[in-house]
Amino acid sequence: MSSNVRPETMARITTPELANAFIEEQVAEVRAQVGDKKVLLALSGGVDSSVVAALLIKAIGKQLVCVHVNHGLMRKGESEQVIEVFGKELDANLIYIDATDRFLDLLAGVEEPEKKRKIIGGEFIKVFDEEAAKLEGISFLAQGTIYPDILESDGVKAHHNVGGLPEDMAMELVEPVKLLYKDEVRVVGEALGLPHAMVYRQPFPGPGLGVRCLGAITRDRLHALREADAILREEFDNCGLAEKVWQYFIAVPDFKSVGVRDNKRYEGWPAIIRAVNTKDAMTATIEEIPYSVLHKITDRITHEVEGINRVLLDLTPKPIGTIEWE
Ligand code: XMP
């Protein structure tokens, strides 16, 4: 297996030319490592696993088997994009598993954040494991490990995250971007032809909307959260904030307040807007959103999303608030 230490002579990949040279080198290396064997990859749709998928498709085509598990806690359109880009455009060997019911049934009535995380992480491994067991002749496991993962942990993609895989999966690893920093992974992703929005996607926690649908998750509130979040993202795209803000999302708590709609009492949940800037997620500052944009978002969410009757803005920096509400 190749070294886990980035050579000091390795130039930072900042241009398409450098990215293409890296891609050619990795394609050759992966082909030499894998031969005619099969490789399995858990494809979440995040930046790292997407870039690894595109790179491996280029290197070994259908010898790569991608498994995308939809845990029902993805943002609007995300699983659809994975199917469109990898299943259709790149013609990958893609297995799509809609495990929404399994996850939401297990999460029903569970209020405690850590318990919710454990359930989501544990079930993810189970679903992936079951799928892997059905496949024959898989010799390698590909992972989207990047250099900060190696520097910050034991070198295996963050175990606390969804996508952490069972330790007893006795397969040799294929980790073509393990010596790259995040900005380099993005440049490589664009050179591989992945959509800009996928490659520059804002950070999204492994347990997904599960940490933003506060308290015990219900399907109706999760649906409202997903729709409100999609409106926020659309309006941030429209006004240019999407390119500027590090992370922005909606959280929906599990209580209602009274409101009025069509001259009738209308009880609904509040949608809380959070938009922060940070370098390393250890501290964060609040982005100033123009009032006109806030009014537009409020108007759209309260009129278009069933179940939401107020929109609030979180002005708390980290510390003292964490980025996620959880
Ligand atoms: P907090 O809420 O601790 O979040 O200020 C810091 C950053 O971490 C992200 N986050 C996660 N990322 N898996 C991840 O990959 C997770 O389980 C997870 N939980 C939180 C959060 O979105 C923020 O960017």
Q: What is the mean pLDDT of residues 114-137?
A: 96
Of 170, 199, 228, which residue sits at a domain end?
Answer: 199
Query: Is residue 324 one of the residues assigned to a domain?
Result: no
Q: What percent of the chain has pLDDT over 70?
A: 95
What's the pLDDT at 171?
Answer: 87
Query: Is residue 9 one of the residues assigned to a domain?
Result: no
What's the pLDDT at 74?
Answer: 98
CA distances from 145 to 154, 163, 169 (A): 11, 11, 16
Please check the confidence at residue 163 and state whether its pLDDT lies above 50: no
Please check the confidence at residue 156 and state whether its pLDDT lies above 50: no
> H or E stretch including 265?
strand 264-265
Q: Whose CA is nearest to atom 7 of ligand 1?
A: 281
How confident is residue 165, by pLDDT bands cut at 50, 70 and 90?
low
Query: Is residue 115 one of the residues assigned to a domain?
Result: yes
> H or E stretch including 189?
helix 182-191
Q: What is the mean pLDDT of residues 317-325?
A: 97
Å from CA of 324 to ligand 1 middle: 7
46 lines ligand 1 (CB under 6 A): no
322 lines ligand 1 (CB under 6 A): yes
Ligand 1: nearest atom to the Cα of 324: 2
Query: Is residue 4 one of the residues assigned to a domain?
Result: no
Q: What is the mean pLDDT of residues 135-152?
A: 94
Instruction: Write the pLDDT tens digit of every residue in 293-305.
Output: 999 999 999 999 9
Query: Is residue 69 one of the residues assigned to a domain?
Result: yes
CA distances from 66 to 45, 52, 90, 248, 267 (A): 11, 10, 12, 29, 43
State whether 179 and 243 are in the same domain.
no
Q: Where is pLDDT greater, at 74 or 163?
A: 74
State whether 22 and 67 are in the same domain.
yes
Å from CA of 245 to ligand 1 middle: 16
Please check the confidence at residue 243 and state whether its pLDDT lies above 60: yes
Query: Is residue 165 one of the residues assigned to a domain?
Result: yes
The four Cα atoms 236, 241, 242, 243 give a dihedral, to 10 degrees, of 160
User: Exposure pattern of 225-235 as b/e (b: 16+ CB <10 Å)?
Assistant: bbbbbbbbbeb
207 lines ligand 1 (CB under 6 A): yes
- Average predicted confidence (pLDDT) for the chain: 94
Question: How far apart, in whole angstroms, are the C-alpha atoms of residue 133 and residue 112?
Answer: 32
245 lines ligand 1 (CB under 6 A): no
How confident is residue 169, by pLDDT bands cut at 50, 70 and 90?
low
State whether 163 and 219 are in the same domain.
no
How confident is residue 155, by pLDDT bands cut at 50, 70 and 90?
very low
Phi-psi group of 45: left, alpha or beta (phi > 0 → left; psi -120 to 50 → alpha; rest → beta): left
Query: Is residue 322 one of the residues assigned to a domain?
Result: no
State whether 27 and 160 are in the same domain.
yes
Structure tokens at 104: 């939401």
The four Cα atoms 107, 113, 118, 121 give a dihedral, to 10 degrees, of 80
DSSP, res 88:
I
Å from CA of 281 to ligand 1 middle: 8
What's the pLDDT at 153?
Answer: 73
State whether 226 and 154 are in the same domain.
no
Helix pair angle (113-134, 100-107), 10° resolution: 150
Structure tokens at 223: 């649906």
Please check the confidence at residue 160 and state whether its pLDDT lies above 50: no
Is 53:64 a contact under the CB 8 Å cutoff? yes
Per the structure, the complete domain to which residue 193 belongs is given by: 16-199
Q: Per the structure, how many domains does the chain have? A: 2
Query: Is residue 323 one of the residues assigned to a domain?
Result: no
How confident is residue 152, by pLDDT bands cut at 50, 70 and 90?
confident
Q: Where is pLDDT greater, at 1 or 203?
A: 203
CA distances from 267 to 116, 215, 221, 229, 300 (A): 26, 18, 13, 20, 17
State whether 275 and 175 are in the same domain.
no
What's the pLDDT at 166?
Answer: 56
Please check the confidence at residue 78 and state whether its pLDDT lies above 70: yes
What's the pLDDT at 287?
Answer: 95
203 lines ligand 1 (CB under 6 A): yes
Of 199, 223, 251, which residue sits at a domain end?
Answer: 199
State whether 189 and 224 are in the same domain.
no
Å from CA of 205 to ligand 1 middle: 5
Please check the confidence at residue 33 and state whether its pLDDT lies above 90: yes
Q: Where is pLDDT greater, at 156 or 49?
A: 49
223 lines ligand 1 (CB under 6 A): no
Residue 64 neighbours by CB under 8 Å, 6+ apart: 38, 39, 41, 53, 56, 57, 92, 93, 142
Q: What percent of the chain has pLDDT over 90?
A: 92
Please check the confidence at residue 251 and state whether its pLDDT lies above 50: yes
